[in-house]
Homo-oligomer: A and B are copies of this chain.
Amino acid sequence: MRSSLAVAVSILALATGVGQAQQATQAPPGQERLDVTEEWSTVTLPEASPHWIWVLDVAFDNLIASRINIFDGDSGKFLGVVHSGFVPNLLLSPDKREIYVDETYWSRGSQGDRVDVVSIYDARTLLRTGEVILPQGRALIVPKLPTAQLSPDGRFLLSFNMNPATSVSLVDIRERRYVGEIETPGCSFVYPTGPRSFSLLCPDGSFADVTYDDSGRAQIANNQPFFDAESDPVFEHAAIDVAGGRGYFLSYEGMFYEVAFENGRTRVTDRWSLTTAEEKEDGWRPGGWQLVSWHPGLRRAFVLMHRGPRWSHKQPGEEVWVVDPEANAIVDRFALEEPSISLLVTPDAEPLLATLTDTGVVGIYDPESGEHLRSIDGTGVTPFLLHAAGG
């Protein structure tokens, strides 16, 4: 009965409509109609420039609706957006062809069944081309770079878990499958140290060093503590130069730790203070969120510094200090237009330095002169992280 009624009524409507249409067709003679019809298309992005800045906005006001906004650091132009889920992590493939988002969804917005997933996007179309489900979940923490990392060749994605026991999920990106879980009890994050190795930070102030193979078999080795985790812990964000076999960690109080990566093992080779006694007296400390970035060509670390009391480790940086780890020296420092929580130096030969305020303003600077080139507003509601392709 319902369908016959439907047909009857819609035929009536259709008849009426056609009648009106014919009537209208006969309206004003001589008047041109339909002389232009524009075609529609969809924009495709070119290969990412190393000066594109990817801003990850965790969107604290709606954690299930985070987003990744892409800007051209040279022009400030908005290039596109990838919408993401609960406390996501972003990874850009080394060949710049794909984007991976390590993220969490629920089947009814913030209710229903939880799923943890690596979403795969084409970097030019920004279309979601696949996903790999993470059956062991993932660590739900405010996004930090070492929460998920790629192997240097881009073959594997390593995703840190905390439930609250800790482990690392291994995803084979090439084969689009979950390989397994590497147990890393008590230690956190993923710092790649070589082609098939990474290290973690442990609560006692030591590294745990992990090597793994393509089938997910892993070996873990412990080390002696290299910092005092009670009195002066190192930040989670560090400057990692896998190709160069080096990593640089810094502490709340400004200690700078230089680490060599050798066959998947860590060895702390040097430690010194970023600040002089006088600067300490003035309260200079590193701080913010993504507070350090490494440029392999310049062989410099860029660090956000501020003046503040102890426990001000999340305070935005007012200056950038340029660190030469070979000379154990601050070789430059310059003031920022606005205090910033995160920074990134692009990985190319003519790099830009991008900074990020907690209100979503990206500043673009020349990292060698410190000159402020431009600012980009509206990069997010509560953005935290900056990424660049090929970095």
Contacts and interface: CB of A to CB of B under 8 A. Distances in A.
Interface stretch (A3-11, A232-240, A274-282): A3-11
The oligomer's copy count stands at 2
Contacts of A107: 105, 107, 115
Interface string A1-27: 111011001100100100000000000
Nearest to A128: B111
A338 interface: no
Interface string A153-184: 00000000000010100000000000011111
Nearest to A1: B217
A186 interface: yes
Chain A, interface size: which category?
A: 35 or more
A64 B119 CA distance: 18
Contact of A108 (B105, B165, B183): B105
A383 to B, nearest CB: 14
* A83, A115, A180: residue with the most chain B Cβ atoms closer than 10 Å: A83
A9, A64, A110, A218: which has the most chain B beta carbons within 10 Å?
A9
A2 B218 contact: yes
A179 to B, nearest CB: 11
Contact of A9 (B10, B59, B128, B220): B220
Contact of A13 (B64, B105, B115, B186): B186
Contact of A220 (B5, B110, B181, B182): B5
A99 interface: no
Contacts of A5: 183, 218, 220
A66 B64 CA distance: 11
A244 interface: no
A309 interface: no
Contacts of A222: 9
A151 to B, nearest CB: 19
A207 to B, nearest CB: 14
Residue with the highest number of chain B CB atoms closer than 10 Å, among A2, A3, A182 = A2
Interface in A32-86: 59, 62, 64-65, 83-85
A204 interface: yes
A185 interface: yes
B182 A2 contact: yes
Interface string A372-385: 00000000000000
A183 B4 CA distance: 10
A358 interface: no
A274 B24 CA distance: 33
A3 B183 contact: yes
A390 to B, nearest CB: 26
Nearest to A2: B183
Interface in A118-142: 119, 128, 131
Contacts of A108: 85, 105, 115, 117, 119, 128, 131
Given A2-B218, A65-B65, A85-B109, 19 more contacts: A1-B217, A2-B182, A3-B183, A5-B218, A5-B220, A6-B183, A9-B185, A9-B186, A10-B165, A13-B203, A16-B204, A59-B62, A62-B62, A62-B65, A64-B65, A83-B110, A85-B108, A105-B108, A108-B119
